[in-house]
Chain A
Amino acid sequence: MSKRTDIKKIMIIGSGPIVIGQACEFDYSGTQACKALRDEGYEVVLVNSNPATIMTDPEVAERTYIEPLTTGYLEMIIARERPDALLPTVGGQTGLNTAVELAESGILGKYGVKLIGASLRAIKVAEDRLQFKDACQRVGLEVPASAVVSDIAKAVKLADDLGYPVVIRPSFTLGGTGGSIAYNREEFTDAIARALDASPVHEALIEESVLGWKEFELEVMRDHRDNFVVICSIENFDPMGIHTGDSITVAPAQTLTDKEYQRMRDAAAAVIREVGVETGGSNIQFAIDPQTGRMVVIEMNPRVSRSSALASKATGFPIAKIAAKLAVGMTLDEIPNDITKKTPSCFEPTIDYVVAKIPKWQFEKFPGSDTTLTTQMKSVGEVMAIGRTFSEALGKGIRSLEPHAPWRAPAEIVDAVLHEKLHTPGPDRIHWLLTALRRGMKVEEINALTKIDPWFLRQMEDAVAVEKEIAATNVNSVSSELLKKAKRNGVSDEQLAQLWRTSPEQVRATREKRGIRPVFKRVDTCAAEFESFTPYMYSTYEEEDEADTSARRKIVILGSGPNRIGQGIEFDYCCCHAAFALKDDGYETVMVNCNPETVSTDYDTSDRLYFEPLTLEDVLSVIDREKPEGVIVQFGGQTPLNLALDLKRNGAPIIGTAPESIDLAEDRKRFGKLLEELKIPQPRNGTALSPAEAVSVAKEIGLPVLVRPSYVLGGRAMVIAFDLKTVEECAAQAVRLGSGSSAERPILVDQFLEEATEVDVDALADGSDVVIAGIMEHIEEAGIHSGDSSCVLPSVTLKPEVLGRIREYTAKLAKALRVVGLMNVQYAIQRDTVYVLEVNPRASRTVPYVSKATGVPLAKVAARLMTGKKLRDIKLAVNDFDGVPELRSKNYYCVKSPVFPFSKFRGVDTILGPEMRSTGEVMGVSPNFGLAFAKAQLAAGQKLPLQGTVFISVNDHDKRFLPALAKDLTAAGLNLIATRGTAAALRSLGIEAGSVYKVNEGRPNIVDLVKTGKVNLIINTPLGRESFYDEKSIRRAAVRYMMPCITTISAAVAAARGIRAMSEGTGNVAALQDLHAMEANANAPAPTQRVTSAS
């Protein structure tokens, strides 16, 4: 073994909150790295601001810090822990950038911390466009030709030489402003003039365009002995011009000849050597001109990446784990292959199947955003599907996306529109491609419009031909041969049912009668050449089944599918914990999921992994094969819950809270009746089946009201309506989303409680006993989606009697719904009255956060309750409040804050509302509430200023909070400016404040100040819908100029307290292990301070 003995303690930096382009794949890679290093005997110090990750579980590292990923806090952690080395390559771009900052600021040097995995020089060469270009050219490889120009005439000559189209990028402009593509000399002459004007240094880069070229990626590894292997080749179905994160990708590469592939492999080896990545994994991207075969190198990531996570799942080769081992000096040949056990990791996996990854977009959450797919990634998640052929993988991939129902283009679409849909890629392009093929459009024509390789299009054309054959038969007349062919092509039962105008159940019955059932094959890195010891499986229609199931007691856990806003990493976290707990209890755990980014789809997480779509058809196949003792549906969010009743009907043994109870909680009418019986107040509410009915219900209830569809997560299409017109519009939108079609899926209309405080409660129950896990107080007022609000645990302002009532109601509800497992209740407290807003008898988004805050792994406990254990058998440290036990809180505050993707969607309003739009979350920890909030804000990327000017514009209602707000801000040394009304209010309180114009009052106005950097923080609380729109421009400018902007008064008050606390000292850092070991509060949570409004 050649592993290093000069280092003992290694620091790993995680990737922070989930954002577009950096999601839970880095939880997967970071967790793997931690485990790998500890297996080798190293001590690991982990830092990440994201509490929803498995990597921040206290068991994963020796020392775990949930702290902001800034050099300041990291230096404090380094000073305290004194690690010998820092591994910067497993925490995404954030981890890498943070490590570079630490190195460049001299902090690593000061504390003698060595960078392992990638040197500073290698990172620089790989990340710097020009240095990378030079490196490629030094080893004889081509990059797109380019030149810097400052003179129009010379530029035109160069552009003529490059050949059109030409890409023009002005130098030093913000966010690529002034950049464009010119398709001919005339366009170029205009564009270059504009670009030179836009550039402050009158300079532009002109670059050969590779738009429409074939795009490939190689995932490669290298050890310090210079052993080099390619783990996986990935081909982008969508050609150059669409970000690889937004492209459908396929592994292995499908359209390269061996000569081309080997040329690419040789090039990748040359690049990684020249750039100087001595150990670890890298991702290298190439483009190939489909006309000439010319290959250029596009870019390189000198670290594990989203693609490497995909490659790991696609091959069964754990790149991050191996990268970590290589970083400490081990070589590929001395690390065994986990799957075959007998062969080493120094090999190139053989793939005897095809993998398709399809991105998941959510433009519907961001009305007004541009849905065109470009070089900037916009998808929020992805699915991966495995089949024995491309067609099968693509079919399975499409049905893994949600909604599962087959997509159909509107029949009246004219050709011109279809052409546009094909030519300008958007989120539905795969469906438009199928539509075009169904209409008989020629592959050549589609290729001309899309540049998608004809091979892929032919495959799809063949699949469409099978569809047509099927359509010419019916469920009885179809030949078994044809039915089998369709299934082998990845056609779902649901699609067949649609083609035959019958039900999926009927199709399944026919299929089973004819003995056409899927078999399960293994992902084994070696195409069956060696025996595999790791049951990682996918379904296909073939002869031999390799599932090799056991007779052990087993539990199937259904995952949550692609990441979406509102259903993300938190649910994967719960699924993983269920697997960990039940494995410890001696069960065989079986995971079903289709999201390649997750820890749950690591073959190490459960005993058996099925990489399958989460549809009824696919899940039933797994259950039929495994015959489990129980199936867990309550951990994976809405995706498995939507299947619960159907699974049960088909005989699946669902464990935990009964699907009927889950359904009851979703059913407004029945649930309302239950609340009445229990004498628990709820906002006045009603249901409607049409927009007109919604309006009359709203009149009855009284405005404002909350309108939304039923059965959705993340508050999709949920709106607070202040007028009846909005009620009607929103109800119509809900109908479009499938509500109102039946009494089972109505439109929901609720009284909206203004000025209420919202509270989230997570609880554990075993059918008879209940334990309150955490009462979280929202920092934003009711009306903001709970996933988009900051919240604090323990609560800061709630009175003991209010807390008492919350506990009482929670216990009553858990008992009434016979909850076994987890339950989440949302309350609104208005003038000391506690209203129930909703109850979800399932795992909630806050489970990981509460688990981290309390030190109790809620999902593990819940999994045990579901398998029959009782709360009284599980030793939990609780306080008893009038008969209701609650987990003991500690002497510190944990604040959770959301992170939003607004910078990716230009022009979208950033005001928060009842529809969830955040992609991720962070946690701030401190004994001081203000500091905990400030740390959470900092971790979320909101740089709360410690000097400069704060702009304040609050509505009349919020003016009563001004004294507290202003006191904290001025005490911290900040200047205040305000709009006329707010400034007058401040002055009348004796507080100094400058005044500034609103946008429509004249100039220079507040937006001008934002743009010129004269403001450092914006506090802007609009009231009612109209002012939302009026003040959009302020908030938009704030996003664009990356200015912190707070839109609710409660958050503003908390922020002011945080700023003041920060100005008095940044506080300390604390390891989770130490926090959890702290003596718990034996008594009621006693907040050390309270937020008070001066009135």
Chain B
Amino acid sequence: MREFAHVSSNWRARETADAYLERYKIPVIWDIDTRALVRHLRMAGALRGIVATDGSAAEKLVEEARALPSMAGRELASAVTCAKEYRWERGSIPLASSFAAHAAASAGGAGPLWQAAAAAMAKREADPGVRRHKVVAYDFGIKQNILRQLVDHGCDVTVVPAATHAEDVLAMKPDGVFLSNGPGDPEPVTFAVQNIRRLMGRVPIFGICLGHQLCGLALGGKTFKLKFGHHGSNHPVKNLLSEKVEITAQNHGFCVDPDSLPSSEVEITHVNLNDHTNEGMRHRNLPMFSVQYHPEASPGPHDARYLFAQFTKMMEATRAK
């Protein structure tokens, strides 16, 4: 980043970013000309790189970086997936409840009028929903906020390792299966593609990011690598069904080629307005849809949160049949 904030100043802050990152051993590169870097990547395309602090000669590091394997053709899902299945029960962290709690803690300092309002808001944000949906989520490198969103939308979630066989998943009698995001090239994740083919039509499916690309492959399509990918939290995506644009967070280097999909079976539902690449699709007959971007993103806008409700509705509809 251009400038790193060494101090924290927020009512929810407990420590500085410095201390937090130190604890998790996450390095930070800052005080560089980030614009120059972005322009370089824009023109040269995504590059392999190395971060070094040991004073090695730049030429040597460039050599090393060049020797690194390209992302294309790499299957990384099995490297980052969970070792065994587990249940996820936590919903999202409502902002309001923190201040309601704060207000309760500093009783007397704040007036009852707004305390009541805060409590009401906290309740609204944490609405548990009435009906529960049993969801099995494939972990190809899953982001926790997806799980939280599923819980917020009334799902009981079991997370399973990337290579879990479709029959084992079906044996858990889920109302729906979720296919997560994850790193690397989707093409070599053939085991997942096969599992998706086995699941299609037998259970409602919702995929995000890598999950979307795997659906594309399972439906007979192809994927390709973008020059420098989509990153950031302001990508305009048009929902072709509603004709409305949603502002989305994205982080992907590969993409589904919509022309490679059988149009008799697959309907393109979302498109990126910046470069017109594919951002979403659904099966014309089977309960199955997926998006390339991150509707759960945090940080990121909430415009696409409706997709979680769309998933639960799909599960309800399938159950009703």
Contacts and interface: CB of A to CB of B under 8 A. Distances in A.
Contacts of B301: 262, 265, 348
Interface in B1-27: 2-3, 5, 7, 9-12
Contacts of B39: 528, 544, 546
Contacts of A229: 236, 247
A529 interface: yes
A297 to B, nearest CB: 13
B35 A521 contact: yes
Contacts of A294: 99, 114, 118
A388 interface: yes
A646 interface: no
B35 A542 contact: yes
Given A208-B111, A266-B302, A454-B9, A292 B274 contact: no
Given A454-B7, A529-B232, A347 B273 contact: yes
A1086 to B, nearest CB: 62
A542 B243 contact: no
Contacts of A225: 243-245
B50 interface: no
A263 B301 CA distance: 9
A352 B247 CA distance: 18
Contact of A291 (B11, B238, B247): B11
A229 B235 CA distance: 11
B226 interface: no
Given A257-B12, A294-B99, A162 B113 contact: yes
Nearest to A265: B301
Interface in B203-260: 232, 234-236, 238, 243-245, 247
A785 B321 CA distance: 85
B112 interface: yes
Chain A interface mostly helix, strand, loop or mixed?
A: loop
B236 to A, nearest CB: 5
A531 B42 CA distance: 9
A112 interface: no
B294 to A, nearest CB: 13
Interface string A222-263: 000111010000000000000000000000000101111011
Contacts of B106: 291
Interface in A476-490: none
Interface string A257-278: 1111011011000000000000
A544 B113 contact: no
B302 A255 contact: no
A585 interface: no
B254 to A, nearest CB: 18
Contacts of A948: none
Nearest to A349: B234
Chain B interface mostly helix, strand, loop or mixed?
A: mixed
Nearest to A256: B10
A788 to B, nearest CB: 47
A161 B113 contact: yes
Nearest to B6: A458
A802 interface: no
A217 interface: no
B38 A529 contact: yes
A163 interface: yes
A162 B116 CA distance: 12
A96 interface: no
Contacts of A458: 7, 9
Contacts of B95: 259-260, 263, 293
A543 B33 contact: yes
B110 interface: yes
A529 B302 contact: no
A157 to B, nearest CB: 12
A347 B42 contact: no
Interface string B109-123: 111111001100100
A226 B244 contact: yes
Nearest to B101: A292
Interface in B107-157: 109-114, 117-118, 121, 124
A1094 to B, nearest CB: 70
Contacts of A163: 109-111, 113
B298 interface: yes
Given A163-B111, A529-B232, A542 B36 contact: yes
Contacts of B9: 255, 453-455, 458
A947 interface: no
A349 B300 CA distance: 14
A344 interface: yes
B247 A348 contact: yes
B108 to A, nearest CB: 10
Contacts of A333: 236, 238, 245, 273
Nearest to A257: B10
A346 interface: yes
A661 interface: no
B236 A352 contact: no
A290 to B, nearest CB: 6
Contacts of A544: 33, 35-36, 39
B103 interface: yes
A755 interface: no
A858 interface: no
Interface string A581-600: 00000000000000000000
Contact of A389 (B2, B7, B244): B2
A333 B7 CA distance: 39
Interface in A828-864: none
Interface in A333-356: 333, 342-344, 346-350, 352
B99 A292 contact: yes
Given A255-B9, A352-B2, A292 B103 contact: yes
Nearest to A145: B113
A337 to B, nearest CB: 9
Interface in B64-101: 93, 95, 98-99
A140 interface: yes
8 contacts: A140-B121, A161-B113, A208-B114, A258-B300, A344-B273, A346-B245, A347-B247, A528-B39
Interface of B: 2-3, 5, 7, 9-12, 33-36, 38-39, 42, 93, 95, 98-99, 102-103, 106, 109-114, 117-118, 121, 124, 232, 234-236, 238, 243-245, 247, 273-274, 298-302
Given A259-B93, A389-B2, A542-B36, 18 more contacts: A142-B121, A145-B111, A162-B111, A163-B113, A208-B114, A227-B244, A255-B9, A255-B10, A257-B10, A258-B299, A291-B106, A292-B110, A293-B95, A293-B99, A347-B247, A352-B38, A455-B5, A546-B35
6 closest residue pairs by CB, A with B: A258-B299, A163-B111, A544-B36, A455-B9, A528-B38, A543-B33
